[in-house]
Copies of this chain bind each other. A is one copy, B any other.
């Protein structure tokens, strides 16, 4: 698999992750995870959850308490390091509450492992972006040193 193919395959796995989330479908969500005892999940504002059994429970709880959620990931960036890949993106989340559509943003890191020829999630970390911390463009171009 070429490097470019790997990047595309990781991005495709990431899309399956958000499709599973939107579908609130635990089987589909399970399918995209590595399902190892070393897997890690940090939902926005939550403590670190380690191990697939506990991570699976957390998704079940989230899905049970969610009626509608849509994701439009943006700023997707992938880096592949052998059989490990990191993806970062902004989750643009649209949910409905009290008849109004709410747009919120979560900064996300997903770590993927190539297992049996398939890229699967080994770590998911989401953190709410507060409106106070939108990054302004740099006034001067800094040097890499």
Contact = CB atoms under 8 A, between A and B. Distances in A.
A102 interface: no
Contacts of A90: 47-48
Contacts of A123: 86, 88, 109
A123 B85 CA distance: 12
Contacts of A86: 40, 111, 122-123
Contact of A75 (B45, B48, B82, B122): B48
Contact of A107 (B48, B53, B81, B111): B48
Q: How would you classify the secondary structure of chain A's contact residues: helix, strand, loop or mixed? A: mixed
Interface stretch (A3-11, A12-20, A30-38, A93-101): A30-38
Contact of A46 (B38, B56, B129): B129
Given A30-B145, A47-B129, A127-B44, A53 B138 contact: yes
Interface of A: 30, 35-38, 40, 42-50, 52-54, 56-58, 75, 77, 79, 81-84, 86, 88, 90, 107, 109, 111, 113, 122-123, 125-130, 132-135, 138, 141-145
Given A47-B129, A82-B83, A88-B123, 4 more contacts: A42-B88, A42-B109, A47-B133, A81-B81
